[in-house]
Amino acid sequence: MTKVDIRFCAMLRPDGRERIELRETRAPSLPLMKPKLNTIPIAEWPSKLSYSQGRALAKARVQGEDDTAQLIKEDGDGLLLPAHLVADLEEADARELGLPPVTPLTLQLNGRGLVHEATFNVEARWLSRGGQAERCDVAGARIRTRGESFRLPRRLFQAWQLVRELNSKSELSARQAVLVKLKEVLGNQIGGQIEPDGQISRLKIAHAAAFSLDLKLADGEFDFDPVLFAQRTNETSQELGSLPDATSEGLLPPNGARAFAQKFRQASTVRNGYLMPDGTFVFLDEGLRRGLELVHRKQRASNEEKREFARNPTLAMREYLAAGSAEDDDGEICLFVETEQFSTRVRDIEVWKPVVVPWLKSKPNSWLPEIFGVRIGDPPHDRQISLVPERLPELKAAAAQALQDEKEDFAFEGERYPATPEFVAAIENLSTLHDEATKAQTAGNQDQAEPPRDTYFLQVDDNLEELKFAPLAAGEGGPAFEQPNLPQSVISTPKPHQKIGIAWLSHGWQRGTPGLLLADDMGLGKTFQALAFFAWLKGQNPSLAPILIVAPSGLLKNWEQEIELHIRPGALGRLERVYGGDLNRLRTAKGTDIRGGSSRLDVSELRDAGVVLTTFETMRDYHMSFAKIRFSVVVYDEIQKLKNPVSQMTRAAKTLNGQLQIGMTGTPVENRLQDLWSISDVIFPGFLGTSKDFETKYTPDDRVAMESLHSKITEQADNTPAFMLRRMKSDILEGLPEKKMVIHEAAMPPRQRAAYDKVLLRAQAMRQEGSRGSMLEIIQQMRGTSLHPASPHAVSDDRAYIEESARLQKTFEILQSIREEGEKALIFCESHAMQDFLSGALQRWFDLPHPVPRINGSIRSAERQNIVNRFQAAPKGFDLLILSPKAGGVGLNITSANHVIHLSRWWNPAVEDQATDRVYRIGQDKPVTVHLPLAIHPDPSVAEHSFDRRLDALMRRKRQLSSTLLVPPESDSDAEYLLAETLDWATARTGEEGKLALEAEDPLVPLPTEREPEKAPKVRRLLTAKDAIPGWEEQPPAALISRLVFKQGEARDWRIFSQYLDGADISTLKIVDPYTCAHRKQRQQVVAFVQKLRRMTANITEVELTAYDAESTNSDHRESDDDQVEHLSRSWRSGLSDVPLTLEIKSKRAGDDLHDRSVEAVARTGDRFIWDLGRGIQGVMSAEKDCTVVATHEPISSTQQSQPKMSGVH
């Protein structure tokens, strides 16, 4: 038989890219003949590749798709790989693709000159293992020396490229910008293949991207200094709407911040870089540097000019930088960050007057209900015993004593309990959870409402704590309501529900109602209803006062278009634009109202206008001008922008004088119930009482109160219309076909079950932390494993991979039925990697002519619409489209499909409903079926508490409550609820009336629309700690230990580590522990810990350690980051000098977030051994406290190993 060798061959091109070909070499059939060499076409690769070759190519393709463009290009019978992708490849994959091995050389970097001077550069030399300099040529990701070619791995490649870029720059600021990137690549490394000299390694760079002002009085005059922030802190504060703390979250520690402020003030100009006394180099983004030029100038200005600047630095910055077009009122410069200190410090100088509303702080939802309990015995004879938290220490002591006395059980307060180690552990877990819950309850929520930043705001009567302003409607005694007849000026014909809305608005006007909230579902024509109402008003009174429309700038053009579409020209009077460039013709003086403290606009022209259009930002900045006009109607489109009752924007809105104020939104409750109060207090002050009373009276978990609130705002009172009108598409649109939701449950296959069980075990350890971050991480692991236990990156056998997932099995069964019906379906899946797998697997499985198209965040908007257009225009018959819930869930009309499969589900039911509405909308003429595949644990005692079932129950209940009772669609308690439901497994009856309960009901039974207490007693969750979890706490191999609790004061059992490490060849030991380097004792412990593990193994090639820096973890600041690294280096060299250590230091100040406390050992075989440490390495090395350790083994997939043939490469 002729021997055939198939392997990749890589060739370097002049542009630095690598061209790889698949070549087939056949051995000669006769002696002296040459082997036959053949290049295999790309189309034939799937049938020729080995498993390892296919996996390497698939992983390279996935990496090449991370950007919006496809990085890997076809070139005849080969592929072109860019240099940076070649550098990113793992060594084994690179060798499979024919690339040379990783270079053994070391890159030595030496700084020349001072970083804050123009002469600074970096000298780079390549050194052999013996430390000798080598002559090398670098091209692309290859380095050639002594006639041999090697590959540069990622960090070496990036460092080399950045050094060349730095040295090529002529300007100091450009060099410093590249130096920042170089330090980010180098990190805080000890050992490895890059050797920076002392100057570079000791250099600490603080990269500033935003600033705040530290306001103060100096010598009786007003003054300020800039406070710097990292980009990530700035972005996080904007996303969460929270105010960062300058002291704890500022870029520099207090001493560093003071030093920077002094250098900044003393310098004659603003530079890009500043060298601090402790060696830290502060680098300013160019945009920030230009912004700080204005701060620098204002520091030298008069006292009054300083005050003017501090009142609105964002506006002053925007004008100074001339950022954005004149029409872009929403384009606020994001250089300036409001902080808690800012509002607190300015109170004494009367520049800012923050409003403190303590009851608006979110009340933390406790993990635990009011009572505790344990479950004793096995089903069906088990029983639940309630416990008082305060008695847990006594119960624990009694159990420990009974165990020591070798008793079978013991009595405590009239109940008998088993004297077993499992019961003692259960009580300890409850004690820990109670302690964490108590901390959470006392900690409170750190978010604060944005304080008013300007004294030049018109004062209003607020209704926060005392009802000061509550205008009333006319009520009874007025004329009877007359149904309006629309004038001929309305061109379009309203739909039935729109007629009701127009009549409702007219009724409010006739009855003198101060305000109304139009909260129809999106797409029902809120704008048209308002315009038709305006036309009716004009018909009643041609000399009507002007109508003011306040909306986001992006919607104002839509208002103009809707006026042109639905209303005859001129019927509403002259239209005035008061925003963007049109402001210039109205200005009477420079600046804004809130800067000058007086009206800066000539409003005489506005009084005669028909409709005035402006943005929320313009309304705020010129509210004194707007307040001088009596408007007939004021409309706030997207009024949720006024959901913060103490913001400047809300304050400004409350100064406007409108006979009727109308709020328009599709989400009247966006985050919390106080959103609704804030909105109502703008348009109908006093209708919902005071903010403080509202917070106490209406809570989302009180059904009676929520029903009362719902009735109050949606039902007509006396002769006045309801405050809110809200209709949903599914309730009012005629002609829409039936929509049904079908749940498909499937038992987890063995491998998925085993992976899910491991996650549950790891959760027990991680839950010791008690932080919200660790809870979310646990839930994410359960969520991911419930979809599939393995990554889809290197699948070699479609069928085998599908059969390992309950959800995928059921999805393909569903699709088979849809295919037989000849219909189309949308598959919503969050994971891009899973989307990639499904795209090819579905094509092969159902023999489709092309891979299934995907729509996700990496696809540009125009291309998304093109994909939809092709799908919509395709002939009738079976077809599929894969979408992300977010990117594909909004703004697309895909009515050619009538099946929706939610393969992965979003936390917020509103997001899922929006995704479904891509199919179920106007234009759909076929019945719509929504399919929900759920993965259920096969053990009957665990099945009911499977993650998928609990998530489904939570979403269905929240969907019902949010649609009927305005309960917020997302809650801080969601994570706690899911965690308890999937880990604790208990419910208890309570006779407490009026409390909503998230029950564990059968997900196949429709949810009732209301409860009857006498027939269905209220059910509330009760947290329990089971002695054991049937079916998964048994160790898979009998001899292995998967979970241990190291007891306080007792010796540590190292078998949980040695069972995997004895004699193992470990290529990399990865340690992630936030505080393991915070103090000298912890650093010594981590060295001792690694020494301990090393003695178990045959070899540990390298160690990677990730931890927080010293300066952001030590409140006393006794150690600097340099001290931390120097001490760890010295300790490491003394005990582990021959084991390279790579130290990655994270900073809290830069926004880095660490939750894990884990150790991962990567063996040469590819197997991974992971230990989750409840209290980190300190908990293992010290017996001061209990520490839970969970061990998991992630072997190379047996399925992939046993299936060498590729199903396809895509």
pLDDT tens digit string along 1013-1071? 333 333 222 222 333 333 333 334 446 888 888 888 888 899 999 999 998 999 899 99
Domain boundary among 202, 228, 259: 202
Q: What are phi and psi of 1187, to 5 degrees?
A: -150, 125
* Co-location of 793 and 908 in the same domain: yes
* Co-location of 178 and 219 in the same domain: no
Six-digit token string for 695 = 């917070």
* Co-location of 721 and 756 in the same domain: no
Query: Sign of the C-alpha dihedral, residues 399, 400, 401, 405?
Result: positive
* Co-location of 507 and 654 in the same domain: yes
Six-digit token string for 1146 = 């994270």
Sheet with 547-550, strands from edge to edge, namely 575-577, 611-614, 547-550, 630-637, 657-664, 515-518, 724-725
Q: In whole angstroms, how far apart are CA 1034 and each of 1029, 1039, 1042, 1059, 1061? A: 9, 10, 9, 16, 21
Residue 986 belongs to a domain: no
Task: For helices 313-321 and 303-311, give the axis angle rounded to 10 degrees.
Answer: 90
* Co-location of 858 and 728 in the same domain: no
Residue 314 belongs to a domain: yes
* Co-location of 772 and 897 in the same domain: yes
Q: What pLDDT shows up at residue 888?
A: 65
Q: What pLDDT shows up at residue 596?
A: 66
Structural domain tally of the chain? 7
Q: How many CA atoms lie within 13 A of 767 on its CB side?
A: 28
Q: What pLDDT shows up at residue 516?
A: 96
* Co-location of 259 and 125 in the same domain: no
Sequence-distant (≥ 6) Cβ neighbours of residue 276 within 8 angstroms: 252, 256, 259, 260, 263, 282
Domain boundary among 59, 87, 115: 87
Find how far residue 719's CA is from the centre of its chain: 47
CB 999 within 8 A of CB 960: no
* Co-location of 216 and 166 in the same domain: no
DSSP secondary-structure letter at 688?
A: T
Q: What are phi and psi of 373, to 5 degrees?
A: -165, 160
Q: How many CA atoms lie within 13 A of 1035 on its CB side?
A: 14
Q: Where are the beta strands (DSSP E) in 169-279?
A: 194-196, 204-208, 210-218, 221-229, 273-275
Q: What pLDDT shows up at residue 149?
A: 92
* Residue/partner pairs of 368-371 with CB below 8 Å, 24 or more apart: 368/433, 368/434, 368/437, 368/1023, 369/988, 369/1020, 369/1021, 369/1022, 369/1023, 371/988, 371/1022
* Co-location of 195 and 276 in the same domain: no
Residue 270 belongs to a domain: yes
Domain boundary among 162, 186, 202: 202
Q: What pLDDT shows up at residue 387?
A: 53
Q: Closest Cα partner for 1056 from 1038, 1068, 1040?
A: 1040
User: Measured between alpha carbons, how far is 791 from 635 in angstroms, rounded to an integer?
Assistant: 51
User: Measured between alpha carbons, how far is 590 from 960 in angstroms, rounded to an integer?
Assistant: 52
Q: What pLDDT shows up at residue 1100?
A: 93
Q: How many CB atoms lie within 10 A of CB 842?
A: 19
Residue 177 belongs to a domain: yes
- Is 0.85 surpassed by the pTM of this model? no
Q: What pLDDT shows up at residue 468?
A: 82
Find how far residue 513's CA is from the centre of its chain: 41
932: domain CATH number is: 3.40.50.300
* Co-location of 118 and 131 in the same domain: yes
Rg of the chain on CA atoms, in Å: 34
Residue 1010 belongs to a domain: no
Residues facing 336 on adjacent strands: 211
CB 314 within 8 A of CB 336: yes
Write the pLDDT tens digit of every residue in 162-179.
999 999 988 888 888 888
Burial of 1090 (0-12, 13-18, 19+ CB in 10 A): buried
Residue 723 belongs to a domain: yes
CB 432 within 8 A of CB 290: no
519: domain CATH number is: 3.40.50.10810
Name residues of the chain where pLDDT drops below 50: 67-68, 217-220, 240-241, 323-333, 340-352, 354, 361-373, 375, 378-384, 386, 433-434, 436-455, 476-477, 891, 986-1038, 1197-1210
Q: What pLDDT shows up at residue 1020?
A: 27
Residue 1154 belongs to a domain: yes
1111: domain CATH number is: 3.30.870.30
Find how far residue 192's CA is from the centre of its chain: 33
* Co-location of 526 and 561 in the same domain: yes
CB 864 within 8 A of CB 882: no
* Co-location of 849 and 926 in the same domain: yes
Six-digit token string for 311 = 């009142």
Structural domain boundaries enclosing 575: 496-732
Residue 166 belongs to a domain: yes
